[in-house]
C-alpha cells in the first residue's frame, strides 16, 4: 500500500505579505483603527522606492557626497537627500500622520493638527550608514512611530519628546544582499524580505527571537583608547575569552546581524561623541524596541535606553544592545 502523505495544512503555511500580515494583526485587535496599516504601507512603498535607488546608485550616478552638510554639520550623501524626499513624499500623503521628524531636518514637520486627523508622529533616519553606499555595504532606513495627543501642534517639539517606551511601532529596512523589513508593533518582531518578482515584502519569520548568547561583539575598536576604562576592561575580557569581532560601521547591518545571530553591538562614549554617536529618537529607540521585543536588552550609560526621557529631538545616546547574556557581560565591567 503506497505511503499516503497527510494533506498539507494550508491554514498554517501560506504566503503572507507585509500588507496582509498587518491587516491580520489588526483583525486580531478589534480596537485597531487601521491607522497602522495605512502608515506602514506608506513606509513599505517608500522603502521599496529607496531600495531601487540604492541598487541603481552607481548606474544613475547618485553616489558620493552632495557637497552640502545636514543640520548637524555632517556631510550629506546624495542618497541621504533622495531617501529623505521619498519618505516625506510617501508619508506626507497619509492623513493620520501629524508630524514627521527626520535626521536630515533640524525642525519637525507639522503636517496636520490633531483636529485635522494628525494622530501619529513618524521619526526616521532615511538612510543610515549612507557613507558606505559607494562600496555596496548594507545601509538602511530606521523608523519610530509615536502617538500624538490633542494640541500637539501647539506644543511643537515637546509633543514628541517621549521616552522610547512610548513607541507604538518601530522597525528598519536593510538594503543589503536582500531588502529586509523588520517590524515590531509591540507584539513580537516580524521579518519580511522584498520579493522583487512580485514587488511585495513577504513574511519570512514571525515572532523572531534573538539568541540568548553568542561570543561576538560589534564595536569600532579604533576608538578603544578613547573609551572609558570599563569598556576597555570588557574588551580585554572578550579578547581573553576568544570572542569574535564583527563591525560593518552601518548600524542597521550590525544590529540586524546581532538580532539574527546574537552577540552585542556597542557604541560607547568617544572624544568626538562623549554622549555616544547614535541618535536617541530615531536610531537607538527604534532599534532598542526591536531588540527588547525579540528577547534581548538595550542599555546606555544611563540605564535602559527606552527609559531615557529625551531633552532634545536630535540628542545622541550611548548604546549597548543585543543578547541578554552578552549585554550582561558588558554591564558587569561598566558597574565594576
Ligand atoms: P563609526 C553610520 O555613519 C553611523 O551613523 C551608524 O550607522 C554606525 O553604527 C556608526 O555611525 C558608525 O560610526 O564612528 O564607527 O564610523
For 186-196, what is each residue's pLDDT tens digit? 999 999 999 99
Q: Assign a CATH topology to domain 216-335.
A: D-Maltodextrin-Binding Protein; domain 2 (3.40.190)
pLDDT greater than 80 at residue 260: yes
- For residue range 109-167, what is the model confidence (pLDDT) as tens digits? 999 999 999 999 999 999 999 888 888 889 999 999 999 999 998 888 999 999 999 99
* 232's grid cell: 576597555
Share of the chain above pLDDT 70, in %: 97
Euclidean distance between CA atoms 209 and 215, whole angstroms = 17
Residue nearest to atom 1 of ligand 1 (CA): 249
User: Is pLDDT at 32 greater than 70 in this prediction?
Assistant: no
pLDDT at res. 336: 74
Which region among 20-34, 135-149, 252-266 has the lowest average model confidence (pLDDT)? 20-34
Q: What is the pLDDT of residue 158?
A: 92
Using 50, 70 and 90 to split pLDDT, how confident is the model at 64? Answer: confident
**Any ligand 1 atom below 6 A from CB of 329:** no
Assign 248 a pLDDT band (cuts: 50, 70, 90). Answer: very high
Give the atom of ligand 1 at the shortest distance from the alpha carbon of 267.
Answer: 9
Q: How far apart are CA 266 and CA 254, in angstroms?
A: 10
CB 251 near ligand 1, within 6 Å: yes
**Positions of CATH 3.30.540.10 in the chain:** 13-205
77 CB within 6 A, ligand 1:
no
pTM: 0.93
For residues 218 and 153, the model is more confident at 218
129 lines ligand 1 (CB under 6 A): yes
- What local confidence, expressed as pLDDT, does residue 134 receive? 82
Distance (Å, whole) CA 281 – CA 312: 9
Ligand 1 contacts CB of residue 220 (under 6 A):
yes
pLDDT mean over 200-224: 97
Q: Please, what is the average pLDDT of the chain?
A: 92
Q: In degrees, to the nearest 5, what angle opens at C-alpha 262 toward C-alphas 296 and 188?
A: 40
State the number of CA atoms in the 13 A half-sphere of 28 facing the CB: 8
Report how far apart, in Å, the C-alpha atoms of 120 and of each of 58, 144, 145, 275, 319 are: 36, 10, 7, 28, 26
Assigned architecture for domain 13-205: 2-Layer Sandwich (3.30)
132 CB under 6 A from ligand 1?
no
Residue nearest to atom 14 of ligand 1 (CA): 220
Residues of the chain within CATH 3.40.190.80 domain(s) are 216-335
Amino acid at each position: 500500500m503506497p505511503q499516503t502523505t497527510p494533506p498539507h495544512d494550508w491554514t498554517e503555511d501560506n504566503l503572507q505579505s507585509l500588507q496582509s500580515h498587518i491587516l491580520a494583526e489588526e483583525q486580531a485587535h478589534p480596537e485597531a483603527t487601521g491607522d497602522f496599516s495605512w502608515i506602514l504601507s506608506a513606509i513599505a512603498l517608500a522603502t521599496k522606492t529607496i531600495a531601487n535607488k540604492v541598487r541603481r546608485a552607481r548606474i544613475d550616478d547618485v553616489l558620493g557626497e552632495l557637497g552640502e552638510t545636514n543640520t548637524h554639520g555632517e556631510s550629506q550623501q546624495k542618497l541621504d537627500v533622495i531617501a529623505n524626499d521619498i519618505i516625506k513624499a510617501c508619508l506626507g500623503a497619509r492623513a493620520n500622520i501629524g508630524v514627521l521628524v527626520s535626521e536630515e531636518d533640524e525642525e519637525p514637520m507639522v503636517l496636520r493638527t490633531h483636529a485635522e486627523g494628525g494622530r501619529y508622529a513618524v521619526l526616521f533616519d532615511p538612510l543610515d550608514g549612507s557613507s558606505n553606499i559607494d562600496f555596496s555595504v548594507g545601509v538602511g532606513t530606521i523608523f519610530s512611530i509615536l502617538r500624538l495627543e490633542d494640541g500637539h501642534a501647539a506644543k511643537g517639539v515637546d509633543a514628541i519628546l517621549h521616552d522610547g517606551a512610548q513607541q507604538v511601532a518601530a522597525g528598519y529596512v536593510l538594503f543589503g544582499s536582500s531588502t529586509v523589513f523588520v517590524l515590531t508593533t509591540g507584539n513580537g518582531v516580524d521579518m519580511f524580505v522584498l520579493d522583487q518578482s512580485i514587488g511585495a515584502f513577504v513574511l519570512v519569520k514571525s515572532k523572531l527571537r534573538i539568541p540568548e548568547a553568542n561570543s561576538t561583539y560589534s564595536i569600532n575598536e579604533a576608538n578603544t583608547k578613547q573609551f572609558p576604562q570599563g569598556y576597555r576592561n570588557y574588551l580585554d575580557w572578550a579578547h581573553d575569552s576568544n570572542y569574535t569581532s564583527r563591525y560593518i560601521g552601518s548600524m542597521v547591518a550590525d544590529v540586524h546581524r546581532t538580532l539574527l545571530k546574537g552577540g552585542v553591538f556597542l557604541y560607547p562614549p568617544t572624544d568626538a561623541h562623549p554622549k555616544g554617536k547614535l541618535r536617541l529618537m530615531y536610531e537607538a529607540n527604534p532599534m532598542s524596541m526591536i531588540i527588547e521585543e525579540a528577547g534581548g536588552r538595550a542599555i546606555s550609560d544611563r540605564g535602559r535606553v527606552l527609559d531615557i526621557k529625551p531633552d532634545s529631538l536630535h540628542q545622541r545616546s550611548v548604546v549597548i544592545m543585543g543578547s541578554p547574556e552578552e549585554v550582561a557581560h558588558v554591564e558587569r565591567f561598566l558597574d565594576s
